[in-house]
Structure 1
Amino acid sequence: MKVFDCVVIGGGPAGLSASLTLGRARREIALFDDGTNRNKVTNQSHGFITRDGIKPQEFKDIGLRELENYPSISFFQTKVLEIIRDREKKFIVKTTNGRKYVTEKILLATGIQEVFFIPSIRKYYGKSIFNCPYCDGWELREKPLIIFAEKEDQILHMTKLVYNWSKDLVVSTNGVEISKEGVQELQKRNIKIKSEPIKNLVGDGGYLQKIEFVSGETILRSGGFVIPSSFYRPNQFAEKLGCEVEENGAVVTDGFGRTTQKNIYIAGETEKSAPSSLMISAADGSKAAISVNTDLTMERF
């Protein structure tokens, strides 16, 4: 059976960038992707120089086409179910199609997913409600916006940030009270705070129009930003392989993508267990790939 130098799991910006770097280093690479990238819900991706405003799928398609220029890169559109370390300290990667692949090194880049404290936000997420002002604030500039968040430090941080793009802001805490000092800090900028629970979000085709509260009050808003209640990795590969994980969910690394387990590397949102931009994730992927190639070089020279 063919033994790959490295298997990259996840075809987002981190995984694509890592695969490109390793392919150009003439390494035998297998890239696996199951099409569940977090940004697929949005119409456009922003902030990646030369690709500003590109559709997420188009970004991925371009990346995959570029990988075709390197014969040592194999791409498999399938889901990885299990990773097992064998007696020879290599890894056996099992997929949903029943196949097995053997590799010396693993690079995890499967990303994260959001959990929303208001489930109906999902219907508008990526079209009129977003998580990252740097990614989507420009498109919502000067519009009447709402900030959804439940923790005071997050409320203040996000609201101050979004204020750069729009001064017409309402904060919804969905039943959570914030401190008198926090209220005063926002009110001095004429930012309204709605602490009562939300009954419903109303809109059409993913575009928010108004918010209904349990009190019966309704406010008109055309978009907004949300801080999810939590993020999670869609798999437990890092934990099952014995990688050390911090209390906040981030995987412990040396700063260059190496985990605490030899021959296991990680990049992008998978490492941080927190959202990241395309540009930063791609940079993380390249950095981790350089670590993989450096280690292969030193071990074999």
Structure 2
Amino acid sequence: MNMFDCVIVGGGSAGLSASLTLGRARRKIAVFDDGTNRNRVTQQSHGYLTRDGITPQAFKETGLKELNKYPSISYFHSTITEIINKCSGEYFIVKTSDGQEFYAEKLMLATGIQEEFSIPSVREFYGQSLFSCPYCDGWELRDQPIIIIAEKDEHVMHMVKLVYNWTNDVAVLTNGVELSKETVQKLQKRNIIIKSEYIKNLIGQNGDLKKIEFESGEIMIRSGGFVVPTYYRPHQFVEQLACQVDKDGTVVTDGAGRTTTRNVYIAGETQKLGATSLIIAAADGQKAAFSVNHDLVMERF
């Protein structure tokens, strides 16, 4: 049996960071990535010190180049279809879509999350003129007239408060949802436009938003903004491995990446079921890698 010390599922910022840390600790690591990381649609990644403005692909290529220096790290561009927990976490069997099997003492989930949008045409502009994170892209939209697409009071107010420091020319689009009187009053005090009509279509070219068409036929001219997605885990590994999950969908950990399932660790957006930044995900990956290495040390010394 070809046994790895740890299999890392996911090659985004969290997974690559964990791989680097464990590779430098001389652990035998296999990291699997199928290229579906959430930020692949983004033109530039921001807020990562020394890498501000880098493209997601360049970021990944730089990370993989660094991993190549460590001979105990194996990288596989492959999709994992099944993970089998053997003997209550004694070891794991990882199966891929091309029929291969790998074995590991420890398992780290870093598969990230994906977005869902109630308006399908958002996808045409997402990552280029419509974004989900003001910290990542608010600077680029500073002082511009923008839209916020959100369908819950709490999401509207959270996003409006965040973006208001970058631009106060804001139109809130709720896609058919009526906001509470309290929310409406707060927005009107700031001269924020509120449109509760259903959105028929978002119109533009090559990822650049030009205008919004409502069901009534009215047209609003806006060239960018923010949208609040619904997030989900693209795989069922958390459930299949019986990791405990809070009522809000967050995977329960000890604060250092260990889940409630023996020898299963988790890092990045996979754990939180919510968006975060590259630099925070990388820190989560390193922290979880510390836990993996610590546990291996304690078990083997």
TM-score by length of 2: 0.98
Counting only pairs closer than 5 Å after superposition, residues 196-211 of structure 1 correspond to structure 2 as 196-211=197-212
C-alpha distance in 1, partners of 2:285/2:153?
33
What secondary structure does 1:165 align onto? coil
Q: Do residues 167 (structure 1) and 168 (structure 2) align?
A: yes
Q: Do residues 143 (structure 1) and 144 (structure 2) align?
A: yes
How far did residue 247 of structure 1 move? 2.1
* Number of equivalent positions: 300
How far did residue 86 of structure 1 move? 2.5
What is the RMSD computed on CA atoms of the aligned residues?
A: 0.9
Moved more, 182-191 or 261-270: 182-191
How far did residue 175 of structure 1 move? 0.8
- Partner of 2:183 in structure 1? 182
How far did residue 50 of structure 1 move? 0.3
Moved more, 52-61 or 89-98: 89-98
Q: Do residues 276 (structure 1) and 276 (structure 2) align?
A: yes
Moved more, 158-167 or 8-17: 158-167
How far did residue 167 of structure 1 move? 1.3
C-alpha distance in 2, partners of 1:258/1:188?
46
Partner AA of 2:50 in structure 1: T
Partner AA of 1:128 in structure 2: S
What secondary structure does 1:256 align onto? coil
- Partner of 1:50 in structure 2? 50
C-alpha distance in 2, partners of 1:30/1:45?
26
Counting only pairs closer than 5 Å after superposition, residues 189-268 of structure 1 correspond to structure 2 as 189-228=190-229, 230-268=230-268
How far did residue 217 of structure 1 move? 1.2
Counting only pairs closer than 5 Å after superposition, residues 14-29 of structure 1 correspond to structure 2 as 14-29=14-29
C-alpha distance in 2, partners of 1:277/1:213?
33
How far did residue 189 of structure 1 move? 1.2
Partner AA of 1:110 in structure 2: T
C-alpha distance in 2, partners of 1:226/1:23?
38
What secondary structure does 1:110 align onto? coil
Partner AA of 2:245 in structure 1: V
- Partner of 2:291 in structure 1? 291
Gaps of 5+ in 1: none
C-alpha distance in 2, partners of 1:164/1:271?
30
- Partner of 1:156 in structure 2? 157
Partner AA of 2:54 in structure 1: I
C-alpha distance in 2, partners of 1:163/1:203?
25
How far did residue 171 of structure 1 move? 0.2
What secondary structure does 2:299 align onto? helix
Partner AA of 2:79 in structure 1: K
C-alpha distance in 2, partners of 1:6/1:218?
54
C-alpha distance in 2, partners of 1:82/1:23?
24
Report percent identity of matched pairs.
66
